[in-house]
Structure 1
């Protein structure tokens, strides 16, 4: 039965049109894929289907066809029309078929929103201090499921997402893939009429992402829940959906069977751009025999970083690669001055002076920290502030307004925007930008502080190739324009091969080898190749 009709939908933010004349239908139990380059309008469409504030259609309408109880107002899929609803112990209602104009019928829209499940990229939406079981039980209570029924259902959901071994773990201590599976279980607990998945694995490594994709197939597709999914992995769209929309510049370029659309879309994917070599300058940082030790009750003394020697020069782009748990994150935190080493020497050059990074205080590590910028994987921009505000006032950049604007434009240009794009970007809000554009703005937010060294933590996640190219170009442009030095902490060896001058492989806390990225590939283990290379 028909579940959704999207009729002649256009969406504008100011004078900028992000969706134009979109039309499609979705049946109960059907899975619709949405493909497109970064900035094509995919996320805006899903936010509109979810009913998020500020995403109402400028023109057109979104119609949901559902079954509504005539007594309690509960919303179900349209096939439930004519069936009884056990509102409570004393009252029995009946489900009646109803067409809901989603952005016009406020009363019915409120009840309908509670039955729409959504998974977003970079957003886990969990109670961080509660266990996996407690998070899922809370979602069930919100859906009106209590007592033994809730316990049984929670166990069923935990098994569905394969987290039996994490039931008592605190949610904030889970990996990214585990958090996404808890989110999935919480959303399924709503007993939704539709599931919206917006790049649900956008920040995960390929191996972990596959676990989440499998969980989506097991929990959503097999249970005949309608779904709209966007993904940077065309093969996932092809595997999970029956039909697919290809968006380009906010318009429907193609709408057909998923395999046909994916085949045509893949023809537009190009390899990453190659960049010219640059002249590397003098040594910037030097680590000698650096260690970081922790004490564990179970394992005794653990060396997270074990005897590392490393030297990196100005204007170099250096890749720090390795499997999860290898020690690269701890090593990067030592380099950033966040963690002091337990042993060894580390100097950071400022002008003609060498700063001792093993010593705390404003004359030592504190002095250098202000010249080290970090862009974390889970970066965020103030959503209700302009890009100009995000680049200046939000980070405490104090200077006259015209100077701040000039510096913001210059920094945006340095990460790959044209002069026209940079000027037009300043008055926009983050929700008007694509994922790739947001990433470049976040990088500009780091660079505008004029750091000597920038650490990028998994800058590509598992982005689509087009967006990865955009990020690669922003790094290269800023190196050329700002004489910038980078350390890229990544599992994406293909990205490191294209962007980095040198790389170091971390295993068991040790820096096994330093050399050209191609030399690092030659010594990768089968497990490392499986997780780090798209072969």
Structure 2
């Protein structure tokens, strides 16, 4: 049995003490799956890290199969706790580049040598290790992929391999943080069925953290609702989910399209990708699609179907093998697939958010908005052209440097190094705007997304999960972009925060007239926020139309039965 009693955990941030876990108590028996849900920042992942033994805690007690841990326990007790637990962290793909079975062999062999070495096939224990590893792969339904190299495994297969590796550690407690997050319905179904099968065949105690109510309804025997570090409620999934979702804001109505004007045209798009060991893995052939002004369009489909490839071709981050992509710019059309200087002005009027969007944690929101205005505001292109001429930077280099403002991070730094430019060249060409400009632009945008202006003087860690996401949306829309491209930046949000995002996007489209194209694996989110959904399978558009019809088709082809478990009650509350 796992018994947690009066658990407390404090963090110190800027000399301020924050209580992350407050008097948390519960029990978990062998053969049970316990779900933990709640809004972002409620303490769910912190609880898993404490139970894993990698985070100290300030008060209370953890008892697991004869082991007792308190804040004063010696290091060897914490090491014992680690040996009795296994954890799969959100968005973590900690696997080796060899074959699937070699990954499990490494984990088993580490029990003997203390690190994940791969023993020689001539090692006296190799055959036993191989046989044991195959049993773990069978348990997760991957025995037929035992010799496949991990880079060619699908997202769901990688998730199942991770579970096999965790089981190879022979844990007494399995901790899963957002299993199958950011994956399509079919992949989620594979992973959830694997978790069920593992629990049924091994009886291992399992704790699952997820923001998705339907996952808890499908998997969990009991659910804990954790908010601001406190247990609000414990009970059966159905009743608890209903109570949790009562905290959602009401829906903002989907705005009506004000005009039927085509503003984006994708024509005869072709893009192919190959992997040496697997051959062709994606083939987009003669894709044609159009988008209208002010329309909110969802791109959905199985993982690896070509959604992100299409979006990145549209934002100019990749160049297709063939085809054209035209954006309306004033009274002209600009093809983003070929170099022309008008692409800079188009990029200025386009905002992009990626899966791994992040605000700078120690920078005030007003300063981050000032930077964004410096690269997306009025007249920044003209000013950058003048500065580039002074510095002897050619036009094609300037266009590339401007593209890097939408990339950022290590990728941008690497590109600057390859081009031979210093890291601060972006700031030289595109200096931050004044705080007066920030206020002038921020007021209408903050009003549209229901964000108080006091957020301008806050740092991201001082904001709630919903405020953080809306602040990121404010960054993306501060200059009233004509086009907003979203590569699933909201995939790991709880339903309450997601409702805030849905309302914000609809207000942006309605009040700013922005054309929005987004990728999502959240079918309920798509149905709530989109005028239209496009289903992409294996590089082809196979369905285009009413979101409810298109999402239902994706659920059907993915055999995603988990979606049925919570959606009846879920939809009643959400509507």
Q: 1:32 aligns with which of 28, 34, 41?
A: 34
Which string of whole-angstrom CA distances, capped at 9 and with x for unpartnered residues, describes residues 70-119 of structure 1?
A: xxxxxxx42xxxxxxxxxxxxxxxxxxx5222575334324433442112
Ranges in structure 1 where 5+ consecutive residues have no aligned partner? 67-76, 79-97
Q: Counterpart of 1:399 in 2: which secondary structure? A: coil
Alignment partners' CA distance in 1, 2:538 and 2:47: 44
Structure 1 equivalent of residue 110 of structure 2? 142
Query: Are positions 1:232 and 2:217 aligned together?
Result: no
Tell me the residue number matched to 2:459: 426
Of the three residues 466, 491, 501, the one matched with 1:471 is 501
Confirm or deny that 1:153 pairs with 2:153: no
In structure 1, the partner of 2:146 is 167
**Contact 1:454 1:487 (8 Å CA) reproduced:** yes
Where 1:287 maps in the other structure, the secondary structure is strand
Residue of structure 2 in register with 1:100 after alignment: 69
Measure the CA separation in 2 of the matches of 1:415 and 1:132. 49
Kindly state the Cα deviation for residue 414 of structure 1 after the two structures are TM-superposed.
Answer: 6.5
Distance 1:528 1:116 in 2: 32
Shift in Å at residue 234 of structure 1?
A: 3.8
- Does residue 489 (structure 1) correspond to residue 519 (structure 2)? The answer is yes
The change in CA–CA distance for 1:110 and 1:387 in structure 2 (over 3 A counts) is farther
Looking at structure 1, the residues matched to 168 and 79 of structure 2 have their Cα atoms a distance apart, in angstroms, of 18
* Change in CA separation of 1:289 and 1:255 when aligned onto 2, cut-off 3 Å: closer
Asked if the contact 2:52–2:87 (Cα under 8 Å) also holds between the matched residues in 1, the reply is: yes
Instruction: Say if 2:354 is the partner of 1:376.
Output: yes
SS where residue 202 of structure 2 aligns? coil
Q: CA deviation at 1:456?
A: 2.0
Residue matched to 2:43: 41
Correspondences of 1:220-369 after superposition (within 5 Å):
220=199, 222-234=201-213, 236-238=215-217, 240-256=219-235, 261-262=240-241, 264-265=243-244, 273-277=252-256, 279-280=258-259, 283-292=262-271, 304-324=283-303, 326-359=305-338, 361=339, 363=341, 368=346
1:162 is displaced (CA, Å) by 0.8
Aligned with residue 23 of structure 1, among 22, 25, 33:
25
Contact 2:460 / 2:468 at 8 angstroms: preserved in 1? Answer: no
SS at 1:428 equivalent: helix
SS of 1:99's equivalent in the other structure is strand
Preserved contact between residue 132 and residue 171 of structure 1 (Cα < 8 Å): yes
Name the SS for the 1:222 alignment partner. Answer: helix
Bigger RCO of structures 1 and 2 (CA < 8 A, at least 6 apart): 2
Q: 1:65: which partner in 2?
A: 63
Q: CA deviation at 1:161?
A: 1.0
**Is the Cα contact below 8 Å between 2:178 and 2:210 reproduced in 1?**
yes
| Aligned with residue 89 of structure 2, among 117, 120, 131 | 120
Q: What do the CA deviations read for 1:366-421 (whole angstroms, capped 9, x no partner)?
A: 775565444333x1537864574877777677426857986997698378353166
Structure-1 separation of matches of 2:275 and 2:76: 55
Deviates more, 1:33-42 or 1:195-204: 33-42
CA RMSD of aligned residues (A): 4.3
Partners of 2:164 and 2:503 lie apart in 1 by 38
What secondary structure sits across from 1:227 in the alignment?
Answer: strand
3-state SS of 1:487 partner: strand
* Inter-partner Cα distance in structure 1 for 2:137 and 2:282: 34
Q: Is the 8 A contact 1:201 1:462 kept in 2?
A: no
Gapped regions of structure 2 (runs ≥ 5) = 114-118, 120-124, 372-407, 410-425, 568-575
Q: Which has the higher helix share?
A: 2
Cα distance, 1:487 vs. partner? 0.9
Q: Do 1:122 and 1:202's aligned partners in 2 also have CA atoms closer than 8 Å?
A: yes
Distance 2:562 2:35 in 1: 26
TM-score, structure 1 normalization: 0.75
Distance (whole Å) between structure 1 residues aligned to residue 203 and residue 215 of structure 2: 18
Q: Structure 1: how far apart are the matches of 2:499 and 2:506?
A: 11
User: Structure 1 residues 421, 33: CA separation in 2 closer, same or farther (over 3 Å shift)?
Assistant: farther
Cα separation, 2, equivalents of 1:142 and 1:259? 41
Mapped partners of 1:40, 1:304: distance in 2: 42
| CA distance 1:196–1:283, change in 2 (3 Å) | same
Q: Which residue of 2 aligns with 1:399?
A: 432
Taking the aligned partners of 1:257 and 1:525, their CA distance within structure 2 comes to 25
Aligned counterparts of 2:284 and 2:137: Cα–Cα separation in 1: 35
Matched position secondary structure for 1:143 = helix
SS in 1 for 2:461: coil
Aligned to 1:7: 6
Distance 2:225 2:42 in 1: 9
**CA offset digits 1:278-311 (Å, max 9, x no partner):** 5358643223333335689999999933333333
